[in-house]
Amino acid sequence: EIVLTQSPGTLSLSPGERATLSCRASQTVSSNYLAWYQQRPDQAPRLLISGASSRATGIPDRFSGSGSGTDFTLTISRLEPEDFAVYYCQQYGSSPCTFGQGTKVEIK
Amino acid sequence: QVQLVQSGAEVKKPGASVRVSCKASGYTFTKCAIHWVRQAPGQGLEWMGWINPGNGNTRYSQKFQGRVTLTRDTSASTGYMELSSLRSEDTAVFYCARVCFGEPMEYWGQGTLVTVSS
């Protein structure tokens, strides 16, 4: 199975700053089927990005995804207070689908 | 609008089984798979398996193979996840999510907390 490694584990930033989250796969992600999710405390995960770079419906344009093959990035251009949460990447191109261990974006 | 509504919290003793339901609405139930994901307290997301409601075919994570059973009732547009031989480490929130072909998990249930305690 494909192992996804996210870095850093925790990102301490201030509102208005730029956040850059990394997700590295142990093998090529088929068709760039790489998604990013946001999870706030006591809530279900929320889809942000599919296909490595396509924003899901209703997701603000400060969220962007990039990358291909084995290296992917989620960028939040200017952090809003509601963006402080945990972010997971997931590959859904190969079975079984797998998740990264998560990156927590916390207020500095 | 697409909605997945899960059953309520459960408390179970070690060795027991639990069944969690996931009722779908707002789309044709048989057109997309239902996946199940476990999240232990303070931990990440762990995929458990999926069911194709159209034909009942299932696929399970090796980690849960033999302990998890996914079923569906097409007349009720509801999927079910049964986990047996519960142990304390199974204490977690369980989520269902809809996955249409070639897409990620766009719609999620609200989660069901299962507590395993003697």
Nearest to A61 by CA among A41, A78, A40, A38: A78
Torsion sign (Cα): A75, A77, A83, A84: positive
* Nearest-by-Cβ selection for B44 from A33, A96, A101: A101
What is the mean pLDDT of the segment spanning B20-42?
97
d(Cα B13, Cα B66) in Å, to the nearest integer? 19
The predicted pLDDT at position B15 comes to 97
Residue A36: its chain B contacts at CB < 8 A?
none
Task: Identify the H or E element spanning B113.
Answer: strand B112-116
A81 at interface of B, judged by CB pairs closer than 8 A: no
| Mean pLDDT, rounded, for B93-103 | 96
Distance between CA atoms of residues B68 and B92, nearest Å: 14
Stretch B50-55: mean pLDDT? 97
Alpha-carbon distance of B11 to B114, in angstroms, equals 6
A50 and B104 within 8 Å at the Cβ level: the answer is: yes
Nearest CA distance, B99 vs chain A (angstrom): 10
Best of A3, A29, A42, A50 to mutate (most B CBs within 10 Å, chain B): A50
Nearest to B61 among A33, A92, A96 (CB): A96
pLDDT of residue A96: 93
DSSP 3-state assignment of B90?
helix
For B14-43, what is the mean pLDDT?
97
Average pLDDT of span A58-76: 97
Give the percent of chain B with pLDDT over 90.
Answer: 97
**pLDDT for residue B10:** 98
Indicate the pLDDT class of residue A17, thresholds 50, 70 and 90: very high
Chain A residue at shortest CA distance from B106: A47
E-strand ranges in chain A read: 4-7, 10-13, 19-25, 34-39, 46-50, 54-55, 63-68, 71-76, 86-91, 98-99, 103-107
Q: What is the mean pLDDT of residues B24-50?
A: 97
pLDDT band at A69 (very low <50, low <70, confident <90, very high): very high
Q: Give the pLDDT confidence of A71-96 residue by residue, as tens digits.
A: 999 999 999 999 999 999 999 999 89
